[in-house]
Amino acid sequence: MRKKNEIDFERIFKGKKIPILTLDERWHELFPEYDKPVHLKEIEVKLNELIKQQGKLASDMKDMKALKNKLMQEIITHMDVNDTEIGKLKAKTLDRNQRYIKELSEKMNRTEDELMELPYQIKAVNEQLIVESAKVCYERLNSNNKKVGEIALWVSKIRNELKEKILEKQDMEMKNTAIYSYMHDMLGPELLQGLDEELKNSL
């Protein structure tokens, strides 16, 4: 059950057109390897495996179609079967090729079914990855915003303290100037200079 004010990411992303995240550089910028949560890595692996599987099946399908065409051509070439030795060899090749074509057609049908199903599986896992990625991003945004607020308060406090310290410093400098001025008037410049030198030597 969702908490109050919690974003329903599943509803937001459901059925939307989303790029395949593991093939998108921006997603990798958001989640570099050193800063990627474990649960995102697990979904990433699952998605990449499905994409790899889709690529392999598409390649297999291409090879099977080429092989089927080759076998079909051989059947056409060996159609003129007769009772001679060459004719019997052609009959064997014909029979073998027809058997291969049947097996190949069954395998192609199964591969085609898998290829039709895979985009839906990829879409579902990709949706799962965007939902979990968005959750992590918003957790980070909220955490950063909280820290930004804390730092802003600290800066404001330090700024006020700094203003106070600057005023205190100016006040002390004015008091020192006044003390020095009164002593100068009261004792005269020569005596004050002597006192200053004594003070410097004692430091």
pLDDT tens per residue, range 70-99: 888 877 776 665 666 666 676 677 778 788
Kindly give the interhelix angle for 189-202 and 85-187, rounded to the nearest 10 degrees.
140
Residue 198: φ, ψ to 5°: -60, -45
If you average pLDDT over residues 152-163, what whole number do you get?
94
The predicted structure's pLDDT at residue 128: 94
The predicted structure's pLDDT at residue 79: 67
pTM of the model: 0.69
Q: Give the pair of three-digit tokens for residue 28.
A: 């990798």
